């Protein structure tokens, strides 16, 4: 009996060891799989965070922090694209420059924070007058530039008057009451041929400064403005 008992004990011991090894192996595999899933989740989270940070940096690079409109860099990016598309397809696009009249007085009288709120308010008014495919930009300070896609001179005239009127009719409602403001608007459009956006910007700028002679008005560029400028230079 004793001779038969020893092998059975050995076998049972070996079986127990094998079972323990299998349990340890399964535990280690399960732990490894959990660790792998945790690492995959971390990688996924960090990749998503990195992508979000990249998108935020890209947004900040091409948009104005105060108004969330496109900034000057974003303006030229889309302007160059529209120029190439117009050369290829012979479509017309327009440029509207908007400058808030006597904005320094608003800052001096009500403070720069209130001035910032007025700028945000004006930005919203302009966006509501434009189509979804148009590009409204804060070019700098109190000056805005709007690229109007697939348009014509008549539509540009209507838009210029709408923007001017919206500014006049919708003062900013501040903590201390209404703050009224107006804008001077200059308009130009794609002439085709060898025209380019820089030349368009110069024409719109001339028209805007013509409008600023009287304030709260708009002007569309015409060739006579170039002639008058040449006469003054002469």
**What are 177-194's pLDDT values in tens digits?**
899 999 999 999 999 888
Determine the pLDDT at residue 234. Answer: 26
Answer yes or no: do 121 and 213 share one domain: yes
SS3 content of the chain, % helix, strand, coil (to 5): 65, 15, 20
Query: Strand order of the sheet with strand 135-140?
Result: 135-140, 143-148, 94-100, 183-189, 218-220
Answer yes or no: do 92 and 207 share one domain: yes
Count of the separate structural domains present in the chain: 2
Answer yes or no: do 194 and 126 share one domain: yes
Domain coverage including residue 5: 1-61
The predicted model scores a pTM of 0.75
Residue that is last in its domain, among 13, 30, 61: 61
User: Is there a domain that residue 67 lies in?
Assistant: no
Answer yes or no: do 174 and 101 share one domain: yes
User: Is there a domain that residue 66 lies in?
Assistant: no
- Per cent of the chain over pLDDT 70 is 88
Choose, from 142, 158, 166, 213, the residue flagged as catalytic.
Answer: 142
Cβ atoms within 10 Å, residue 221: 22
220 contacts 152 by C-beta, under 8 angstroms? no
Answer yes or no: do 128 and 204 share one domain: yes
167 contacts 122 by C-beta, under 8 angstroms? yes
Q: Which helix (H) or strand (E) holds 118?
A: helix 112-129
Answer yes or no: do 208 and 159 share one domain: yes
Token pair 């910007």 is found at 201
- Between 20 and 199, name the one with better pLDDT: 199
Answer yes or no: do 57 and 80 share one domain: no
Structure letter (DSSP) for residue 136: E
Has 142 been annotated as catalytic? yes
Answer yes or no: do 127 and 81 share one domain: yes
Answer yes or no: do 102 and 133 share one domain: yes
């Amino acid at each position: 009996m004793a001779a038969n008992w020893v092998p059975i004990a050995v076998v049972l011991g070996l079986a127990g060891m094998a079972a323990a090894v299998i349990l340890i192996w399964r535990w280690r595999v399960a732990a490894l799989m959990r660790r792998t899933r945790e690492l995959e989740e971390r990688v996924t989270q960090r990749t998503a965070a990195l992508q979000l940070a990249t998108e935020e940096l890209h947004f900040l690079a091409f948009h104005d922090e105060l108004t969330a409109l496109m900034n000057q860099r974003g303006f030229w990016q889309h302007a160059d694209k529209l120029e190439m598309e117009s050369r290829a397809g012979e479509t017309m696009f327009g440029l509207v420059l908007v400058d808030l009249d006597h904005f320094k007085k608003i800052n001096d009288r009500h403070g720069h924070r209130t001035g910032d709120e007025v700028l945000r308010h004006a930005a919203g008014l302009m966006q509501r007058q434009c189509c979804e495919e148009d590009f409204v930009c804060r070019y700098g300070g109190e000056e805005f530039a709007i690229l109007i896609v697939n348009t014509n001179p008549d539509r540009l005239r209507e838009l210029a008057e709408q923007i001017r009127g919206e500014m006049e009719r919708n003062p900013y409602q501040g903590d201390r009451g209404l703050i009224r403001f107006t804008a001077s608007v200059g308009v130009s459009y794609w002439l085709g041929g060898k025209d380019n956006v820089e030349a368009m910007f110069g024409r719109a700028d001339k028209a805007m400064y013509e409008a600023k002679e009287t304030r709260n008005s708009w002007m569309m560029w015409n060739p006579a403005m170039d002639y008058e400028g040449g006469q003054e230079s002469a």
